[in-house]
Amino acid sequence: MIAYFPEILPDESLYSLVCRYKKYNFPLNHHHVTQQLFGKTHIAVRPDLTVRLKEFSDRTFHILKLDVSDVIYKLTIWPFYFHFLLPNRKGLLLDKLKKETQKNFLQTSGLLNKYFFGSTLPKYCPVCMADAYKYYGIFYWKKVHQIPSILVCPIHNCFLKTAKVNEKEVTSFYQLVDASQESCDLNDVGIQQ
Ligand SMILES: [Zn+2]
């Protein structure tokens, strides 16, 4: 049973929480973490939408008190995304989010469409990152910045940036990028590398 899970910070994404869980449980690798949280080793946790959320809810409910609908609506971009779906697709994709594999979900979601600008790397606003560090002492990935096609922070009106990863991680489908001074360019907001 999972004994600890990070406290959810304002607008924090599920991806961010999984990254922090992995960091606190070092040296667990990606596959250990997804086995513990999603009941399966080989799943890619995406910054925007991740599958097997019923399993995640079941495994963390004793700590987070979030049922599967709460997880979907509070920790993913689904509340934005579903507006772009035809009514007959909404129920189908919602069901896939709860139970399916990532491959089955992505094939029908449209997130792989290049015109939708979905990303496997998290995006961030440098000012939001600096604020997070100031108020909470950590960096984290916000949900609102992971919405495909959103290029500007709705709070600060500055362009979003994409996380930097090392070359080994770029080619890996399974990657959890920590929000940090290494993965984020924060020089312009007074946090030096
Ligand atoms: Zn911002």
Gap from CA of 152 to ligand 1 centroid (Å): 8
- Which is nearest to 43 in space by CA: 100, 113, 116? 100
Q: In this predicted model, what pLDDT tens digit does every residue of 100-145 receive, in sequence order?
A: 766 667 666 666 555 555 667 899 999 999 999 999 999 999 999 9
- Which is nearest to 148 in space by CA: 121, 180, 183? 121
Q: Are residues 24 and 82 in the same domain?
A: yes
Q: Is residue 3 in some structural domain?
A: no
User: Average pLDDT, whole number, for the chain?
Assistant: 88
Gap from CA of 140 to ligand 1 centroid (Å): 12
Q: Is pLDDT above 80 for 177? A: yes
User: Could you tell me the residue range of the domain that residue 20 belongs to?
Assistant: 14-116
Q: Is residue 8 in some structural domain?
A: no
Q: Are residues 88 and 150 in the same domain?
A: no
Q: Are residues 84 and 128 in the same domain?
A: no
pLDDT band at 23, cuts 50/70/90? very high
The residue that leads in pLDDT, 169 or 91, is: 91
**Dist. CA 40–CA 18, nearest whole Å:** 14
Q: Is residue 131 in some structural domain?
A: yes
- Taking residues 139-168, report their average pLDDT: 91
Q: In this predicted model, what pLDDT tens digit does every residue of 57-104 receive, in sequence order?
A: 999 999 999 999 999 999 999 999 888 778 888 888 888 888 876 666
Gap from CA of 23 to ligand 1 centroid (Å): 24
Gap from CA of 151 to ligand 1 centroid (Å): 11
Gap from CA of 127 to ligand 1 centroid (Å): 5
Please give the torsion angle defined by the CA atoms of residues 178, 179, 181 and 182, in that order, rounded to the nearest 10 degrees.
40
Q: Which two tokens stand for residue 83?
A: 């507006």
Tally the domains of the chain: 2
Gap from CA of 156 to ligand 1 centroid (Å): 5
Gap from CA of 117 to ligand 1 centroid (Å): 19
Gap from CA of 159 to ligand 1 centroid (Å): 9
Range from 41-45, 99-103, 156-160, 187-191 carrying the lowest mean pLDDT: 99-103
Q: Is residue 181 in some structural domain?
A: yes
Gap from CA of 186 to ligand 1 centroid (Å): 12
The per-residue pLDDT for 111 is 65
DSSP structure string for 126-176? HHHHHHHHHHHSS---BSGGGSTT--B-TTT--B-EE----HHHHT-SS--
Strands (E), the chain: 123-124, 161-162
